[in-house]
Amino acid sequence: MTRTAGPALRLTVVVGEHEVWHHKPLHAEIVHRAHAAGLAGASVFRGVEGFGASSVIHTQRLLSLSEDLPVAVIVVDAEDRVRGFLPRLAELVGERGLVTVEPCEVIAFPERRPDGGADTAAGERG
């Protein structure tokens, strides 16, 4: 996948870590569908504490021993690709999570060569 710089959208999906889709963690299914859709990438981040619409606080603190911490799946790609993925996401998430889309800018730094110099463009060899 080619890294490009410029305007993009950041898609964030927050769900409970124990939400499932056909006996598979929901966050994993979101990542696999994003991959199958050809999106640039997806990462899952596990929260240490949070609450949602239920107002129940979930935490990883030892005394609380919560087992349903929040996880966030983050995808960054071009606007048309992210918006094209939303119908597939709607089927999975429904009312079980929070979905946000925000504009962002992708910054592509020049690659570093083994000799310590910088290439003029990512992926360019000289």
Say if CB 98 and CB 13 are below 8 A apart: yes
Write the pLDDT tens digit of every residue in 7-41: 999 999 999 888 999 999 999 999 999 999 999 99
Write the pLDDT tens digit of every residue in 49-86: 777 766 666 666 655 555 678 899 999 999 999 999 99
In a domain, 31, yes or no: yes
CATH number assigned to the domain comprising residue 84: 3.30.70.120
Domain span at 90: 7-106
In a domain, 15, yes or no: yes
In a domain, 50, yes or no: yes
Say if CB 103 and CB 11 are below 8 A apart: no
The strand pair at 49-50 and 58-59 is best described as: antiparallel
Count of structural domains, the chain: 1
